[in-house]
Amino acid sequence: MSRTPLLLSNQSGSALPTVLILTFLMLILSASALQFGAQDASLAAKNEDSSQALYVAEAGLARALTWLEAQDNPPPGLSPIAPFGVTPDTLDCGLYRVSIIPDAGNLVGSRKRYTITSLGSVGDKTRALSLTVGTQSFAQFIYFTDDEHLPNSNTPVWFCSADLLDGPAHTNGQLHLFGDPQFGGRLTSAWGGPDDPGPNNNPAFMYYNGDFWNHLESAEASNAPYDEPVFQDGFELGTTAIDLPEYVDDLETLAQNGGIYLTGNYEVELGRDNNGTPMYGYLSYRKRTNGLWNDVKISDTNGVVFATGDIKVEGVLDGCLTLACGGSAYIMDDLVYRDADPVNGPNAGCDDLLGLVSQNDIVIRDNVANRNDCNIHGHLMALDTSFMAEYYSAGGPRGALTVHGGIIQKFRGAVGTGYLSGGDVVIRTGYAKNYHYDRRFDATQPPGYFLTGHYSRLNWNEVS
């Protein structure tokens, strides 16, 4: 009698518990996987909420900065500002709340700082960002123009191989590059940008391209082998335009309220020699018709002097001063700081500051004193025309024009003529340029100086 079926039955019975155990384990593992999957999905959602909250906070900062720039003047006082009210604003997936805290130093300086705090919330996640901004001054540019052509013409003025700008530079026009000029600070151009009125203008440089008749428009950083400029801090094309002030009215008002207000055409001398003794710390002025000097201690004024007509200026400044005029300003001789070297600029710790602002031109006079170099310390603004050398295309070379500060002008003025020879620029008439940025203008400016209406981003960080 066969026992095989019994043996089979016994084998089947012993396998059943094993199958049940394995099935049970599989169910446990499946449940765990589902649970972990749900946890991962929840964690991913929370991480996404956290990232979104950061983006929302960034949007709050950007909107607050736009609000600041839209104000006619920097907000006064030290009280916290809620530009959009105390109720959080909604942005797509979340909410943000913004506050603006004025810096305590705003009460004593013309350059203002503000700290913007933005709280972004998405779901149960909140991120907070802080951005410190400061009002941007025209003094922060070593070079600025509205237009890179000679006044009232289509004649471009070129940056060439001998030119070096070692500070921030901006133009609302198009840069013309010839050879290998050097830009040590960040360079920006609004040509082809959102505010450019020319519908066919594209963000680009104009390269000389080795040929008077065959210039090349390009957004590339070089045009080898003909033109290879150096941009040590980079460049940006097609930026937002910066509006140049149209009139000197604000400085005229300051001069009438604590400064020196003059009607007519005047000569101004700083640190005038009075019988062999320089009057450092003094400003001397006289009408060009009567020859009588008036000597005023600069520290006894608010530092702003305004003449309704033209001014002629020279001398050595000991103090902080802004000279402005409703006509043109003529530089008759070196105009330098007392605590400085005429060629190498301000010494360490120098506290002398000069702003020279004209409604029309700022002109280096073609006279005996200026025919063998000219040294200028200060920031210069020609609101309606140009900074230029008188008769720049006549005569012969006049040496170097050294400026420590900055030059702002509506149209690009010329200070000399020259040509390239073996890669070097040979000056035919006028001056070789030797321009240097005064780094102190990163944080300060001459009295009452113009602001651009924009703000510089000084510090960004995430806070608890």
pLDDT of 40 higher than 60: no
What is the C-alpha to C-alpha distance for residues 100 and 434, in angstroms, rounded to an integer? 42
Residue 37: Cβ within 10 Å count = 10
Alpha carbon 388 to its chain centroid, in Å, reads: 23
SS3 2: coil
| Contacts with 51 (C-beta within 8 Å, 6 or more apart), sequence order | none
Each residue's pLDDT tens digit, 115-132 = 999 999 999 899 999 999
pLDDT of 38 higher than 90: no
Each residue's pLDDT tens digit, 181-195 = 999 999 999 999 999
According to the model, what pLDDT value does residue 145 have? 97
Cα–Cα distance list, 221 to 186, 213, 395, 407 (Å): 13, 21, 36, 24
Cross-strand partners of 366: none
What is the C-alpha to C-alpha distance for residues 227 and 24, in angstroms, rounded to an integer? 78
Q: What share of the chain is helix, strand, coil (3-state, %, to 5)?
A: 20, 40, 40
Alpha carbon 411 to its chain centroid, in Å, reads: 19
Each residue's pLDDT tens digit, 380-411 = 999 999 999 999 999 999 999 999 999 999 99
Domain positions in the chain are 44-136+452-464, 139-451
Each residue's pLDDT tens digit, 321-371 = 999 999 999 999 999 999 999 999 999 999 999 999 999 999 999 999 999
41 — pLDDT class (breaks 50, 70, 90): low
Question: Quick check: 321 and 301 in contact, CB under 8 A?
Answer: no
Q: What is the mean pLDDT of residues 314-319?
A: 98
According to the model, what pLDDT value does residue 212 have? 87
Classify domain 44-136+452-464 at the CATH class level: alpha beta
Average per-residue pLDDT for the chain: 89
Burial class (CB in 10 A: 0-12, 13-18, 19+), 105: exposed
Residue of 323, 343, 333 whose CA lies nearest to 272: 333
Question: Quick check: 94 and 121 in contact, CB under 8 A?
Answer: yes
Q: For a pLDDT cut of 70, what percent of the chain falls above it?
A: 90
Is the whole-model pTM more than 0.75? yes
According to the model, what pLDDT value does residue 42 have? 53
Question: Quick check: 283 and 270 in contact, CB under 8 A?
Answer: yes
Asked which of 86-90, 393-397, 452-456, 459-463 is least confident by mean pLDDT, the reply is 86-90
